A and B are shown apart, each in its own frame.
Chain A
Amino acid sequence: MTAKPKSLEQEPLYETISRVLRYNIVSGRLPDGFVLIEGPIAKLMQTSRAPVQASLRMLNAEGLIHRFRGRGYLVGQPSANLKPIRKPLEDFDFDIPPASRSALAVRGTWLRVYDKVEAEIAACQIFGEFRVVETELANHLGVSRTVARDVLSRLNERGLIRKGATSHWLAGPLTARTLREKFELRGFMEPEALRMATDFIDYSQINRICQQIESGKAKDAAELEDALMRYCLRKAPNSTLVEIIDNNRLLLSAMDKALSDLGLPVDTVALDQYGALFHLIGSRQTSASTEYLKEHLRILSYKSLARLKIVALIPESESIPKYLNRV
């Protein structure tokens, strides 16, 4: 066998992403003035953000896109009458050529394993501080170290792990202080996002949720919390805010999940409160609903603090995967 030419799968990820973006710009699929933002591109290409950043810088240097006063880059050359087009990539005929697609798919392996690792790393933090060992993680998942690194870089972006002084990856501990601070942030941001979202919410959807709650079909407070995020808070016209809210919730949802896996029964009071909240949102009582959300979050914070205490009674060895070492 002769040596293969360097395949697309071996080229750096940012090269592949640049290739796809370049193709879509040059072929006119993305019009001049289109706003390119890392997050949606990373999502569409199933990668983390770091390589998208690198490729945008590259295309900027090539002159295909340029910086402007807003967030992200604009497609095309700078000109006075270029109006930024802020729309989802999916609204255009965005195309990923098959060769690049398969290269991305291989690199996208991390996405398939990501959710599991995210859940495990979020859940371990209630038990204390852990070091995440990259090689162990790769072995555990049966993937290359490159993929493991992609996973870790995404976890870092979402604020679930951080680099310690010796440049090891560290996770946790989820203390009462962390919990209190995260709920405090929720109290600042979520009612505001709800207020901002008022004109963008699909009210028929909210009415369907209200009906589900009234008919007793919605039995899970976590589900309703997700619905609040998906159908209300995410509609706020400030994607940075929405993203911070999302990331801030991550560890809290993981704790809820971990506790419910341990057998925490349904919180019927919380269910009732979501019922009242969706009712207020559905009837467009904006001030009342934001105030109610604030109060709901205050109570939730209090209960979460109390529930975290029971974790002290649970031995950690039961649920910690091998790639996590206690610090």
Chain B
Amino acid sequence: MHADLRHSQKPAAPAQVKRRVLRIRGTDVTLLEQVRQMAEADLGFEIQHESLDFLTCQHRAAMDPSNYDIYEQCFHNLDIVWYWGALQPIDTRRILQWDKIGDLAKTGGISKYTWQGHGDAPVRKLYVQPDGTLGQQPMPLISMLPTAHNVDSFGFDRRLFGDEGPEGSSWAWLLDRRARGRIALVDEPAIGIYDVALAAESNGDLTFEDIGNMTVDEIDSLMALLETLRQQGFFVGSWVSPDQAEALVRADRVSVQSMWSPSYGNLGHMQGVFCESVPREGYRAWHGGASLARHLSGSQLDIAYEYLNWWLSGPAGAVMARQGHYMTNADGVREYLSPEEWGYWYEGEIARCDLKGPDGRIVVRAGRRRAGGAYRERVSRIALWNTVMDEYNYAARAWNRFITSLGASGQ
């Protein structure tokens, strides 16, 4: 007994509780530190982020499926990982707010009268069909939980192009001779190719039978056109991450370039000079989401579902909104935004005060109105989706050779 008493004066060893950890592999589009901290606080288990560039992320998600639990990426490159057998279907009966997810992801458009857009509209990859393939026939099992999404265009210098006017700008500006020597493109093949394809079709240089699924000949023509333009000194270079795109603008080295929503808030003195376009041909859209790794089961699968449900609950969507992205459950997001924020980002209203981005810096000045207007206006004008087309292997290799040659002659 004495011995026991002596022992009892020592501090008790901490209980052996197995730490619960959920590992997320994705890109910096959704893997924001602020989101991670909020999720940890709300869910009570540890969340680890592994943020990779687009291509590395797909590669590792497919080839190394045991080292993550949740895969956060886009619908357009889901094929690659899904048909590699790295993921398991999500049972929508375990997604509490499934019914609140909007029709853009579920049926392809916000109304049945809107055009779905060319290419990998998320609905075409959403439902797991009985034969294990992905398709748009609604099923209780899905491949990826649709979350953040947006419509992209390009950025332009209004000192060169002037204001857009009532007709809007045109994708043709992205390959406009007036901007020769001051054009930059995003290097990601499933995105960059479409920016220039839209431009080449808009200015009449090329036509595509189905721009969302180009043929080998069409790809060859597009690459030949780009090579000619490169030799004529059209391009200043390419960018990999949005901060590189922002740096090009701030250094006043570009007049027009591929650009994504969050960047428009980070242009410093060029804000108001370098503008987000509203192309008359329509937007290039993308849709993000979260998928379950194949190996998940039991309690680990349970916390993965908790995390998926948390994504739809609102706080994450509010962070996404502050950098310009939309969430599938907009009603949930609204509760976590100020009325001014909601009005500007979702309703297309004039900002009634300065608005802050996810990191607390001011990204929108009072008095500004979002280019393209409200959510419904913007997403009803989708020309095409980011796409991993059938000839992706061929196209991406040709595109990468082009991007490499830009590096040699450009920056």
- Enumerate chain A interface residues (CB-CB to B < 8 A): 126-128, 173, 175-177, 180, 262-267, 269, 299, 302-303, 305-314
Cβ–Cβ contact A175 & B84, under 8 A:
no
Interface flags, B382-411, vs A, CB<8A=1, else 0: 000000111111111100000000000000
B391–A303 CB distance below 8 A: no
B201 at the interface (CB under 8 A from A): no
Q: Are A310 and B84 interface neighbours, CB within 8 A? A: yes
User: In the bound complex, what is the Cα–Cα distance between A323 and B55 (angstroms)?
Assistant: 29
Chain A interface mostly: helix
Please give, as numbers and ranges, the residues of chain B lying within 8 Å of A265 by CB-CB distance: 84-86
Of the listed stretches B75-83, B156-164, B202-210, chain A binds B75-83
Cα–Cα distance between A312 and B77 once the two chains are bound (Å) = 12
Residues of B within 8 A of A263 (CB): 63
Known: A306-B80, A306-B83, A309-B79. A175 touches B133 (CB 8 A): no
Sample (12) of A-B pairs whose CB atoms are under 8 Å apart: A127-B397, A173-B394, A176-B391, A264-B85, A269-B132, A302-B133, A306-B79, A307-B84, A309-B79, A310-B83, A312-B397, A314-B59
Q: Which of A175, A267, A303, A310 lies in contact with B394, CB distance below 8 A?
A: A175
Interface hub of A305, A306, A312 (most chain B Cβ within 10 A): A312
Q: Per-residue CB proximity of B59-100 to A under 8 Å, as 1/0?
A: 100110000000000000001101111100000000000000
B391 touches A175 (CB 8 A): yes
> Contact: A176 with B84, CB < 8 Å?
no
Residues of chain A lying within 8 A (CB to CB) of residue B397: 127-128, 312
Is B366 in contact with chain A by the CB < 8 A criterion? no
* B131 at interface, CB cutoff 8 A: yes
CA gap between A313 and B391 in the complex, in Å: 13
**Which B residues are in CB contact (< 8 Å) with A308?**
390, 392-393
The chain A residue with its CB closest to the CB of B219 is A175
Q: Are A313 and B58 in contact (CB under 8 A)?
A: yes
Identify which of A180, A266, A302, A309 contacts B393 (C-beta below 8 A). Answer: A309
Which of A128, A302, A309 has the most CB atoms of chain B within a 10 A radius of its CB? A309
Closest-CB distance, A291 to chain B (whole angstroms):
15
Whether, in the assembled complex, B271 has its beta carbon less than 8 Å from a beta carbon of chain A, the answer is no
Q: Which B residues lie at the A interface, using CB under 8 A?
A: 55, 58-59, 62-63, 79-80, 82-86, 131-133, 189, 215-216, 388-397
Q: Return A264 CB to nearest CB of chain B, in Å.
A: 6
Question: Taking A127-B397, A299-B131, A299-B133 as contacts, is the C-beta distance between A310 and B80 under 8 angstroms?
Answer: yes
Complex Cα gap A34–B133 (Å): 51
- Looking at the assembled complex, report how far the CB atom of A112 sits from the nearest CB atom of chain B, in whole angstroms: 32
The reply to whether A303 and B216 contact each other, CB–CB distance below 8 Å, is no
- The CA-CA distance from A127 to B398 in the complex, in Å, is 11
Contact yes or no, A176 B393, CB < 8 A: yes
Are B82 and A176 in touch, CB under 8 angstroms? Answer: no
Name the residue among B63, B82, B133, B390 with the largest chain A CB count within 10 angstroms. B390
Assuming the contacts A262-B63, A267-B85, asked whether A312 and B216 have C-beta atoms less than 8 A apart, the reply is no
Select which of A180, A262, A269, A314 is within 8 A of B131 by beta carbon. A269
Beta-carbon contact of A305 and B132 below 8 Å: no
Besides A262-B63, A265-B84, 20 other CB < 8 A contacts? A126-B393, A128-B394, A128-B397, A176-B389, A176-B391, A263-B63, A264-B84, A265-B85, A267-B85, A269-B132, A305-B390, A308-B390, A309-B392, A310-B58, A310-B59, A310-B62, A312-B393, A312-B396, A312-B397, A313-B80
| A residues near B63, Cβ cutoff 8 Å | 262-263
Measured CA separation A311–B396 after assembly (Å) = 10
Question: With A263-B63, A267-B85, A302-B133 as given contacts, are A309 and B388 in contact (CB-CB < 8 Å)?
Answer: yes
* A306 interface neighbour in B59, B82, B189, B395, Cβ under 8 Å: B82
Chain A residues whose CB sits within 8 angstroms of the CB of B393 once the complex forms? 126, 175-176, 308-309, 311-312
Contacts of A310 in B (CB 8 A): 58-59, 62, 80, 83-84
Are A309 and B80 in touch, CB under 8 angstroms?
A: yes
A128, chain B: closest CB distance, angstroms:
6
In the bound complex, residues from chain A placing their C-beta under 8 Å from that of B79 are 306, 309
Asked if A312 and B189 make an inter-chain contact with CB atoms under 8 angstroms apart, the answer reads: yes
Nearest chain B CB to A154 CB, angstrom units = 27
A107 to B390, CA, bound (A): 43
Closest to A180 in B: B390
Specify the chain B residue showing the minimal Cβ separation from A273.
Answer: B131
Chain A residues positioned under 8 Å from B62 (CB to CB) = 310, 313
A52 to B85, CA, bound (A): 46
B215 near A177: Cβ-Cβ < 8 Å: yes
A120 to B408 alpha-carbon distance, docked (Å): 32
> CB-nearest residue of chain B relative to A313?
B59
Question: In the assembled complex, which residues on chain A have CB atoms less than 8 Å from the CB atom of B85?
Answer: 264-267
Q: Which residue of B is nearest A176, CB measured?
A: B390
Taken together as a complex, chains A and B put the C-alpha atoms of A217 and B181 apart, in Å, by 63
CA A311 to CA B131, docked complex, whole Å: 23
* Smallest beta-carbon distance A254→chain B, Å: 15
Q: Which residues on A sit within 8 Å (CB–CB) of B395?
A: 312
CB nearest neighbor in B for A295: B131
Q: Which residue of B has the minimal Cβ distance to A299?
A: B131
- Give the residues in chain B near A299, CB-CB below 8 Å: 131, 133
Give which listed residue, B55, B82, B133, B216, contacts A313 with CB less than 8 A: B55
Tell me the bound Cα distance from A64 to B79 in angstroms: 60
Q: Which residues of A contact B390 (CB under 8 A)?
A: 176, 180, 305, 308-309
**Please, which residues of chain A bring their CB within 8 A of the CB of B215?**
177
A176 to chain B, nearest CB (A): 4
Could you say which residues of chain A place their CB within 8 Å of the CB of B59?
Answer: 310, 313-314
A299 to B134: give the CA distance in the assembly, Å. 11
Q: Hey, which chain B residues are within 8 Å of A302, CB to CB?
A: 133
Contacts of A180 in B (CB 8 A): 390
CA distance A263 to B62 in the complex (A): 9
- Min C-beta distance of B315 to chain A, whole Å: 33
B394 proximity list for chain A (CB < 8 A): 128, 173, 175-176
Q: What are the nearest 10 A-B pairs in CB distance? A: A176-B390, A312-B396, A306-B83, A269-B132, A265-B85, A312-B393, A313-B59, A306-B79, A309-B392, A310-B80
Residue of A nearest to B214 (CB): A176
A259 to chain B, nearest CB (A): 9
Chain A residues with Cβ below 8 Å from B132 are 269
C-alpha gap A127/B397 in the complex (Å): 8
Closest Cβ–Cβ distance, residue B146 to chain A (whole Å): 19
Interface centre among A267, A307, A310 (most CB of B within 10 A): A310
Chain B, residue nearest A269 (CB): B132
Residues of B within 8 A of A303 (CB): 83, 133
A307's nearest neighbour on chain B, judged by CB, is B83
Task: Give complex CA distance A135, B390 in Å.
Answer: 36
Residues from chain A with a CB closer than 8 A to the CB of B189 are 312
CB distance from B309 to the nearest CB of A (A): 28
